[in-house]
Structure 1
Amino acid sequence: MRSYSRSHPWITFEATDINSIHPRIWMLLGEARSKSEHLAGTPLQPEVAEKFYRVALVKGAQATTAIEGNTLTEEQVAGILSGTYRAPPSRAYQEREVKNVLEALTTIAQQVMEGGFPTITSQLICDYNRQVLEGTRYEPHVVPGRIRDYSVGVPAYRGAPPEDCQYLVDRLADWLESDTFQSEDAEIRFALAIACAVYAHLYIAWLHPFGDGNGRTARLLEFLILARCGMIPLPVAHLLSNHYNLTRDEYYRQLAAAGTTQRTDQFLSYAIQGLVDGIRIQIEQVLQQHFRVTWLNFVHETMRQFPSSPARDRQRSLVLAMSSDVEIPKGSLPELTPKLARLYARKGPRTLSRDLNRLQSVQLVARGPRGWRSNAGIIRAFLPPVAESVTGPAF
């Protein structure tokens, strides 16, 4: 009998607890699959699509490092990615931690998008650990990418016995690639892909097979499993890391509880709920982008009824610069953008009044007690009609 079976009896390499999750969580998995399909099938303008993924990448990298104590902000991580931010010498090690994770996540994404699907092996897991630790600060006894041969522990938890670590990592890699997480049914396969990613993360946290960087290694492995499954868009594959970071206290409670109770259904439920919450936010962001595109097209179509002229172009620029949420005093409208400032620089106040009157006549702008706003909300009339929600019995 191996030592871990006595010290860590909850390490069983079984995924049967997924059958015990609440029916509501299964419904959330269905929602996750549906919304993932919508995200994957929704075209975005090229620059918007690139920004959308970069934001997800930045959030994922920042979360992956922040949960282990890195204090660089999202803005600073975005600057590292774009090359516009360099940390001061006292925080250079934090910059290196972030760069390592960004490079590893980018490499995984490129491999997946180019049709390469790395097989999970113990060597791959070691390579991920080496990548996240390379050039960073760690204790003298730590060797990046090498499975430890000494005992380690974190507050209230001790990693698996060192004499079993190589065996356990080998077995974990085989388990994650096994038929346990495969199905011919697409709906079940999607749920198993989520479960596989969460179990990979959970088991690396339990085993703690490396002297340092176990959390970052776990999150890279989790990202790989989600990204390569073919059913989850890359921005969604970053969401679990962000969820763990945003709910850091609960994350550690759930980790501890999974070991104490020797059950994984609650950790699975916690992770799935966070994933769906993140997908809902991404869907809302995509809807807002489509709303803006629809409004832009509506403005152009509406203005075509007027003869082509500098006045028409100026009026179109004015309405597109206005907010639909904030009323702007008339005198401040030409200051909304540099372009508007140039267009109205040599015009009198009557020109602005005439422009607003024309835009109001075709319902593109509206006047309120504090000023003017665009009437972008008018395009909500184009949405399919839905009855107001009610509470209680339908009949």
Structure 2
Amino acid sequence: MTPAGTVFAKKRQLDALRKRVRPGALDGLEHSQRIDITYTSNAIEGNTLTAGETALVLEKGITISGKPLKDHLEAIDHARALNWVLEIASQSDTPIVEADIRNLHHLVVGNSKPEIAGRYADSARYVNTDVGVHNFPTPTEVPALMETFCHWLGAARQSPQTAFEAHRRLVGIHPFNDGNGRTARLLMNLVLARAGYPPVAIRPEDRPAYIAALEIAQRGGGHATLDRLLFDRLDQTLDMYLGAARQAQDASAEASKVIPIRS
């Protein structure tokens, strides 16, 4: 079975299980997953907060001694952006438009870098790769590229393939001065959520393979390597949700058993 077929089959299993467990049975997992996605997405970009520290910042409002204020603000920003992503995914199936992506970026850097929030790049962006410096499109090219991108996204079918391509294409345009990776991963999760899939985390230990796969795509080597990594992460996430749903189903069945009363 193809990776797409595997995750679709697991999604159907999860959809069926969700109908047989009590409402809210997966709330704990979903809460933990939100914190994990914020921790991992920021860590990939160099944020120094650990998973536990990220949870303390978000759940308790605690300031971690010795850690930069910027890292705290990035955690708060990302968590707020992810909440927005999952909220609009559950409330609306209207096409994602350019204003949505700019608003998403505004949330991603709203506190940490408010001067660039929601604004397209006004300076050159580049990245050092194994084969030299890669230059992203110029600021004057960005508006037209984003218009084309959003036309494609608005007409595309909601699916994991679309989610992964949206991520890849947005990273390739690199429309903002900073926050492009976090925005692209959140957009990916928005498309996944609209297609009925749980959001996924790309972990810090994935970073070398993830960056290498993006570089392959950017220099015209295709996107198969990146798709494999993302499908693998989605597959693992579905396994985690299936395990939690089965445990919740077993607990519900156990609780519903009638214990006979001896006379």
Report the TM-score, using the length of structure 1 for normalisation. 0.59
* Structure 2 residue 101 is matched with structure 1 residue 125: yes
Whether the 8 Å contact between 2:48 and 2:67 is mirrored in structure 1 is no
Aligned length: 257
Whether the 8 Å contact between 1:244 and 1:251 is mirrored in structure 2 is no
* Structure 2 residue 117 is matched with structure 1 residue 144: yes
- Aligned residue for 1:249? 208
- By relative contact order (CA 8 Å, sep 6+), the higher-ranking structure is 2
- Aligned residue for 1:221? 187
Alpha-carbon offset, residue 260 of structure 1: 2.6
Whether the 8 Å contact between 2:26 and 2:245 is mirrored in structure 1 is no
Question: Structure 1's 247 and 89: CA in aligned 2 closer, same or farther, altered over 3 A?
Answer: closer
Q: CA RMSD of the aligned region, Å?
A: 2.5
Q: 1:208 aligns with which of 174, 184, 191?
A: 174
Distance 1:39 1:84 in 2: 33
- Aligned residue for 1:55? 32
Alpha-carbon offset, residue 120 of structure 1: 2.2
Question: Structure 1's 91 and 306: CA in aligned 2 closer, same or farther, altered over 3 A?
Answer: farther
- Aligned residue for 1:328? none
* Structure 2 residue 139 is matched with structure 1 residue 162: yes
- Aligned residue for 2:249? 290
Alpha-carbon offset, residue 217 of structure 1: 1.0
Distance 1:273 1:82 in 2: 29
**What do residues 37-93 of structure 1 show as CA deviations (whole Å, max 9, x unaligned)?**
222332444554221210121111212211111122233333333335333474332
Q: Which amino acid aligns with 2:128?
A: P
Q: Which amino acid aligns with 1:280?
A: D
Give the 3-state SS of the residue equivalent to 2:175 in structure 1.
coil
Question: Structure 1's 283 and 81: CA in aligned 2 closer, same or farther, altered over 3 A?
Answer: same
- Aligned residue for 1:33? 8
> What is the aligned-residue identity percentage?
21
Whether the 8 Å contact between 2:22 and 2:252 is mirrored in structure 1 is no
Alpha-carbon offset, residue 135 of structure 1: 1.7
**What do residues 6-30 of structure 1 show as CA deviations (whole Å, max 9, x unaligned)?**
xxxxxxxxxxxxxxxxxx5xx3222
Give the 3-state SS of the residue equivalent to 2:141 in structure 1.
helix
Distance 1:52 1:97 in 2: 22
- Aligned residue for 2:48? 71
- Aligned residue for 1:94? 71
Whether the 8 Å contact between 1:97 and 1:133 is mirrored in structure 2 is yes
Q: Which amino acid aligns with 2:206?
A: T
Q: Which amino acid aligns with 2:167?
A: H
Q: Which amino acid aligns with 2:11?
A: S
Whether the 8 Å contact between 1:100 and 1:134 is mirrored in structure 2 is yes
Larger radius of gyration: 1
**What do residues 97-151 of structure 1 show as CA deviations (whole Å, max 9, x unaligned)?**
11111111112222232x323532222222211211112158xxx6221111321
Distance 1:101 1:196 in 2: 22
* Structure 2 residue 232 is matched with structure 1 residue 259: no
Distance 1:85 1:49 in 2: 26
Report the TM-score, using the length of structure 2 for normalisation. 0.86
* Structure 2 residue 253 is matched with structure 1 residue 277: no
Which stretches in structure 1 are left out of the alignment for 5+ residues?
1-23, 183-191, 308-395
Which stretches in structure 2 are left out of the alignment for 5+ residues?
none
Whether the 8 Å contact between 1:243 and 1:278 is mirrored in structure 2 is no
